[in-house]
Structure 1
Amino acid sequence: MLFRLIKEHLRPYRRPLAIVVALQFVGTGAMLYLPSINADIIDFGVVPGDTGYILRHGGLMLAISLLQIACSVVAVWFSARTAMAFGRDVRAALFHRVGGFSAREVQHFGAPSLITRETNDVQQVQMLVLMGGTLMVSAPIMMVGGIAMAIHVNVGLSWLVALVVPVLAGSIGFIVTRMIPSFRVMQERIDEVNRLLREQITGVRVVRAFVREDRETKRFAAANKDLTEVSISAGRWQAGMFPTVMLVANVASVAVLWFGGHRVESGQMQVGDLTAYLSYLMQIVMSVMMATFMMMMIPRSAVCADRIVEVLDTESSVVPPAHGVTVETEPGVLRFEDVGFTYPGADVGVVRDVSFEARPGQTVAIIGSTGAGKSTMVNLVPRLFDATEGRVLVGGVDVRDLDPETLWARLGLIPQKGFLFSGTIASNLRYGKADATDEEMWAALEVAQGRDFVAAMPEGLEAPIAQGGTNVSGGQRQRLAIARALIRRPDIYLFDDSFSALDLATDARLRAALKPVTAEATVVIVAQRVSTIRDADLILVVEDGEIVGRGTHASLIEECQTYQEIVASQMSAEEAA
């Protein structure tokens, strides 16, 4: 998965990568030439008074060193730019893929895990690409060149190279195979720490309200301890890599001096050749050390790449149509035909055999107990999920065949939990209509009963909104979400328990203000309060995912026992009449 990910996303950067390889080849080749010049000076000496020899060889060595430095600097510059561009592209690909997920895929991975994959995991692979452009390219060149030059200097000591390289490779391979499982568990533990942090930060008011700081501290400490333990386990193996390499390198150096010294004594080898051979052996060991450093990064990067590719290879269960329909046969009509929805692996569907029709100018209300499937039914309309049975039709066309832009342009969804983005009130309202004027925004706020509190803010429409809308109350957040949907004037309004945070008086004023605005639109309201939906043209009573009653408030009071129980739990007999 790692090499597949790198290959796919580095394809546009083949030219800078080729430049990096060329520069590393030249720079490493220059470095390999220096020991030969040094050996020449040692073996043949410097004739007294031969200043030209000194200048020629000294200038050559200086020029080679400067060339090596220049090649290294430029190669690192190109590698850094390429690695940053790679990280940017992978993050963009992940963001695009996650943006197309349905709620099912988001729930499968979990928001904390997706955030970790988008940030930490990409950073790990990006760092591997950066180091690979410098170390991974030069290491094999240095190793092959060092072996070739060492054999050229003296064939008699070649058995040392043939022994050292396999021992180093085998030792490192053994350590790496032990590191990979630890790194995989480490990334999972990071997910868990992120999940707890996210819960505790977003739920800090609940934690303090129930005085559970100690409990949450212990939960985080346990997750942090688990992460630390697996990190230490991986770190132990990682820490053993450099000592292993240095042990082999030092033993090899002693062996070269020992056996090479005997060859010098017997006249089979010059002293300069011995120093050059030792330099080449150190370069070979250095290349192995560079490869070792890469090997330390590869296991964790491989795990991260697997997690990234898992997201990129996951197709959304909500697939856009190849040729989306843009022309509707029944504008504004919403119809459910024998609709059912079952979560993957579940035995029983959360929505079963649901059929109803809502037309322009009509208000259809859905009421039922918590967990009855009301919100799931609404979520099937904008394709947050796709029905597993039957059809959901908007404008006479199955939503799975309707062009996504056409579908979303027809809908105004106010979710159960109104979410606001960081920015201003104006930027949040323009989510509903990008070119909305100030007059349109104030008009939408007027209907949503939000004009007063927005006008009371010093900045008005430019008042700042924190992430998630945490700097406004729940009722204000809900009214801003309603205004955001109203401003686009859709054909179909979907109110998913959107009045739950409003007091009864505000609820009544809001519903009265909505009537003229939605008079020609189709309105679907999911609600818990009977007072909110009692004037609806059609009320659907849902229990365990099925419609157990349908009709007006008056007819359901007489005919539907479930509705009678709901009404009885909320209001007196006089209010129900």
Structure 2
Amino acid sequence: MNMILRQLGRFKKDALLCIGMTTLEVAMDILLPFITAIIIDRGLEQANLPTVYRYGALMVVMAFLGLVFAALAGKAAARASSGLAANLREAIYRNIQTFSFSNIDKFSVPGLVTRMTTDITNVQNAFMMVIRVAVRAPLTFIFSYIMCLIISPKLSLMFLIAVIFLIAVLSCIMVVTMKIFNEVFRRYDDLNASVQENISAIRVVKAFVREQHENEKFETASANLYRLFVKAEGLLAFNNPAMMTAIYFCIIMVSWLGAQFIVGGSMSSGDLTSLFSYVMALLMSLMMLSMVIVMISMSMASIRRIQEVLEETPDLHNPEHPVTEVTDGSIDFDHVNFSYKHGSGKNALSDIDLHIRSGETIGIIGGTGSGKSSLVNLICRLYDVDQGSVRVGGWDVREYDMEALRNQVSVVLQKNTLFSGTILDNLRWGDPNATDEACIQACQAACADEFIDRLPDGYHTRIERGGANVSGGQKQRLCIARALLKHPKVLILDDSTSAVDTATDSRIRAAFAREIPGTTKIIIAQRISSVQDADRILVLDDGHINGFDTHENLLKSNAIYREIYESQMQGGGDFDQPA
């Protein structure tokens, strides 16, 4: 809770203002029944109209002030709660930006979305109730009970029975419902995952006629959520019966004993009237507290989920005195072992000893799961090694400032991503200050100008979310152009020309040799034709180096490489290459 409240920031003043205004509002409400008793006893029963007018005018002024204080408290509560929600979302988003890949692997995307939407909305609503209702209700309860003690100490003791009964019932309900709501928000993740998968992969769903299967999967997730909510709401339904039992008990006691006290002369009619008002205020404050308890029990589950993200610390940190300049594109792996779960004993890479000179073009080939992507992820320090070291430009990557390293090691990942905006907007992710001419030159090197020039708006054509309005090959070429704009010392293509034909692939590689001759180029590919012209080719097998040599030498000495080559070349070459 302290972590959440620290996010209030400048909205702390609004929260304190709300509490102050609510206190004044309660003071006005508590004094009104007291003034009513004076009007009855000193005015109406004694036929003293000046007293009625005087205290009646005072009641009007106090009621108006109570209204003003309530309006100011409500406005301040809205600002404080909305500000807290905004600050929480910004804090979570900022923290996510610092996560390494291993941090991100701990949280599912639907889980993070639920935390930033549903969970924060729950916290926002609960905070508004806490600073508004949870301040008003206890103050009303305390002041009302004090007034009851002043009017009739004997009757006030009877009210404690109703209060103890209500507290016992509400406590039992809160303990059980908190456990249920913890499970509810885990189920929300499943529901969001189902929706996100279906919408993002809607083309695949329709292509395989899996609409019915997806509907059933969603209905299962929705039904689980429904059952938990019914269970929780069924328990919360006991709030009202318990409250009404306490209210009727108090009304009967006040009516019965109060009438006897009036007959006996120990209580006036005005006191009895005000006592009714204070008893109702006292019990209604308990009802409001029960609502707050329910909201807090829901929000506690959300607070814990938000806290998990806020407390998650990045696995990767900059050193105390980082290196800020990458001198060249040389890369050295010194007996590197790496696993995605440290200490699991299941290495993705084992004893990698590899040395690449600056400016070389290196091809990497191997079967699925052989460790190709894992290898290049270590170069730009998306993960840290378990053993050994990775050096770029002569320095261990752990000694670099991560931003400086990643600005000089440009990666076109296996899964290409474009963002909403124009083509130029997407290209300038590589260099925010790039001119139009530089963007065009990068697109020419990546052979992306071929299709951009045919678009109605050219480089100002808008890209839909995720690049939905361009083909896979076009998306790959735009991502390559974006990477070239960084003018990196090392360029890594992680199977990022798989969706283009071999002729275009060849032109892209020729442009690399012409445009960035001093850049170290690492090309991961499934096609032999994409890597056979590289200076050297690395063959990976189950996380181990199986071969590292030129195309001609590997054909002679490496069985895995020769098998891949022969299987692709039999039948006339690649799918779009003439026999």
**Is the TM value for this pair above 0.5?**
yes
Asked if 1:74 corresponds to 2:72, the answer is: yes
Q: Give the equivalent residue in structure 1 for 2:403.
A: 405
Q: Give the equivalent residue in structure 1 for 2:484.
A: 486
Q: Give the equivalent residue in structure 1 for 2:30.
A: 32
Q: Give the equivalent residue in structure 2 for 1:181.
A: 179
Q: Give the equivalent residue in structure 2 for 1:331.
A: 328
Aligned AA (1:324): P
- Secondary structure of the 1:119 match is helix
Alignment of 1:172-211 (within 5 A): 172-211=170-209
Aligned AA (2:237): A
CA distance in 2, matches of 1:454, 1:566: 35
CA distance in 2, matches of 1:28, 1:281: 15
CA distance in 2, matches of 1:176, 1:161: 23
Q: Give the equivalent residue in structure 1 for 2:277.
A: 279
Asked if 1:227 corresponds to 2:225, the answer is: yes
Q: Give the equivalent residue in structure 2 for 1:506.
A: 504
Q: Give the equivalent residue in structure 2 for 1:415.
A: 413
Structure 1, gaps ≥5 residues long? none
Deviation at 1:35, TM superposition (A): 0.5
Q: Give the equivalent residue in structure 1 for 2:577.
A: none
Could you state the TM-score of these two structures normalised by the residue count of structure 2? Answer: 0.96
Asked if 1:297 corresponds to 2:295, the answer is: yes
Q: Give the equivalent residue in structure 1 for 2:120.
A: 122
Deviation at 1:91, TM superposition (A): 0.7
Q: Give the equivalent residue in structure 1 for 2:163.
A: 165
1:112 to 103, 106, 110: 110
**Kept after mapping to 2: 8 A contact 1:86/1:126:** yes
Deviation at 1:42, TM superposition (A): 1.8
Q: Give the equivalent residue in structure 2 for 1:496.
A: 494
CA distance in 2, matches of 1:41, 1:216: 69
Q: Give the equivalent residue in structure 1 for 2:89.
A: 91
Structure 2, gaps ≥5 residues long? 575-579
Q: Give the equivalent residue in structure 2 for 1:268.
A: 266
**Kept after mapping to 2: 8 A contact 1:160/1:256:** no
Which shifted more, 313-322 or 554-563?
313-322
CA distance in 1, matches of 2:325, 2:445: 31
Q: Give the equivalent residue in structure 2 for 1:288.
A: 286
Deviation at 1:573, TM superposition (A): 9.7
CA distance in 2, matches of 1:486, 1:7: 45
Aligned AA (1:298): I
Asked if 1:218 corresponds to 2:219, the answer is: no
Deviations 1:160-183 (Å, cap 9, x if unpaired)? 222222211111111111101110
Deviations 1:170-210 (Å, cap 9, x if unpaired)? 11111111101110111011100100111111111111111
Aligned AA (1:457): L
Asked if 1:365 corresponds to 2:382, the answer is: no
**Kept after mapping to 1: 8 A contact 2:421/2:464:** yes
CA distance in 2, matches of 1:43, 1:154: 16
Alignment of 1:431-450 (within 5 A): 431-450=429-448
Q: Give the equivalent residue in structure 1 for 2:249.
A: 251
Deviations 1:298-319 (Å, cap 9, x if unpaired)? 1110000000101111122222
Deviations 1:89-114 (Å, cap 9, x if unpaired)? 11111111111112222222111101
**Kept after mapping to 1: 8 A contact 2:537/2:548:** yes
- Secondary structure of the 1:499 match is coil
- Secondary structure of the 2:379 match is coil
Deviation at 1:147, TM superposition (A): 0.8
Deviation at 1:405, TM superposition (A): 2.1
- Secondary structure of the 1:400 match is helix
Aligned AA (2:219): A
- What is the number of residues matched between the two proteins? 573
- Secondary structure of the 2:44 match is coil
**Kept after mapping to 2: 8 A contact 1:9/1:89:** yes
Asked if 1:340 corresponds to 2:329, the answer is: no
Percent of aligned pairs with the same residue?
A: 35
**Kept after mapping to 2: 8 A contact 1:76/1:133:** no
CA distance in 1, matches of 2:303, 2:45: 60
CA distance in 2, matches of 1:380, 1:255: 76
CA distance in 2, matches of 1:349, 1:308: 32
CA distance in 2, matches of 1:322, 1:291: 50
2:527 to 511, 526, 529: 529
Deviation at 1:574, TM superposition (A): 8.8
CA distance in 1, matches of 2:108, 2:409: 27
Q: Give the equivalent residue in structure 2 for 1:15.
A: 13
Deviations 1:315-340 (Å, cap 9, x if unpaired)? 22222323321244x52222211112
Cα RMSD of the aligned pairs, angstroms, is 1.7
Deviation at 1:45, TM superposition (A): 3.3
CA distance in 2, matches of 1:163, 1:302: 30
**Kept after mapping to 2: 8 A contact 1:436/1:487:** yes
Deviation at 1:507, TM superposition (A): 1.1
CA distance in 2, matches of 1:394, 1:509: 28
CA distance in 1, matches of 2:138, 2:498: 66
Deviation at 1:7, TM superposition (A): 2.8
CA distance in 2, matches of 1:424, 1:169: 60
Aligned AA (1:523): K
**Kept after mapping to 2: 8 A contact 1:75/1:133:** no
- Secondary structure of the 1:493 match is strand
Asked if 1:425 corresponds to 2:416, the answer is: no
